[in-house]
Amino acid sequence: MTSKIFGLLFLTLTFATAASANDRVSDRVEAQPSAAPTIIAVPNTAGYGVTIVPAHVTRLLTQAYDLARNTFVGDLHDVSGVAYASEKTVVATPPSQRELDFQMTPEIKTFLTYFTAGRGRGVAIRGVFRSEAYRADAQRIFREEGVPADLIWLAQVESAWQPKAVSPVGACGIWQFIPATGERFGMTCSGDDADERMDFEKSTRGAAKYLKWLNKRYDGNWPLAIGAYNCGEGGMDRAIARAGGVEDFWVISRAGLLPAETANYVPAVLAATIFGSDPARYELDNRYADSSELAGLTASNATKPSSATK
């Protein structure tokens, strides 16, 4: 956790008036009219700003903050039906071998175990297999755009590296751009084979540009930027506002202020950057795959589409 969050000060004021129903922060949290609001000193780049936050939100933030201080506590809820991994279950690739710097959390460890030794292993192996045709060029493009190359593994969580993937809500391609965002980053979105969201070069550069833009928006905070890639910057901004301006993904997520999908998305992406940096270390390359894990995959359908099919 960042030193900024360790600097949070919670100073309670007693007010005679009750918190209104508008103070609810999510469907998970019931407003408690008798609770007094709280002043939170929120650290930021300019110093400390003061925000009044409802007391029930403060309790959630305090619990999340306490959890952030002790990363390996055992009393945590399950994620996607997978129990949290013990500290010794997995050994992450040394940070010195990665371009993206982040602190290991229980959530990341859960997904790393899920992908390398759990029910997600088959998906990870198939994604690693498909990615072989794309990784070098994706890394080049991300580096050209000033984005850590490790973040190409966001594609694993978005589409398992499937260039023709289409979601029920109309997102498509390896990077799963919806039409509005695709057009925002220079792609034509026709919904057919000419749709540039399925063009590897253009969509990959668009993904890198979008991630760079989000990272700048959140002052270099990659977990917030990655989360915003999933829920949109508007959704992330609202979650930060509900947290009284606390700009720490893990605190916001553990307080229940983000959609469940986004709360799982960020640790899944960060776990993918770990095993993606060295698939063989986690026995995820095709040398370790059985026939069922690579069923339907061949070298011919795991390569980049030709210019005629883009």
- The residues annotated with a catalytic role in the active site are 158
Amino acid at 19: A
Calculate the alpha carbon distances from 291 to 51, 121, 160, 161 in Å: 57, 13, 18, 19
What is the Cα–Cα distance from 100 to 219, expressed in whole angstroms?
15
Tell me the DSSP string of 263-285. HHHHHHHHHHHHHHT-GGGGT-S
Residues across the chain? 310
**What DSSP state is assigned to residue 92?**
P
For residue 47, what is the enclosing H or E element?
A: strand 47-53
Strands of the sheet with 47-53, listed across from one edge: 9-12, 38-44, 47-53
Please name the residue ranges forming H helices in 172-291: 179-184, 200-217, 222-242, 249-254, 260-276
Calculate the alpha carbon distances from 206 to 21, 71, 181, 203, 307 in Å: 41, 34, 9, 5, 18
What is the Cα–Cα distance from 274 to 78, expressed in whole angstroms?
21
**3-class secondary-structure state, position 79:** strand
Pick from 269, 267, 256: nearest CA to 64: 256
Angle value at C-alpha 275, between 287 and 144, nearest 5 degrees: 110
Strands 38-44 and 47-53: antiparallel
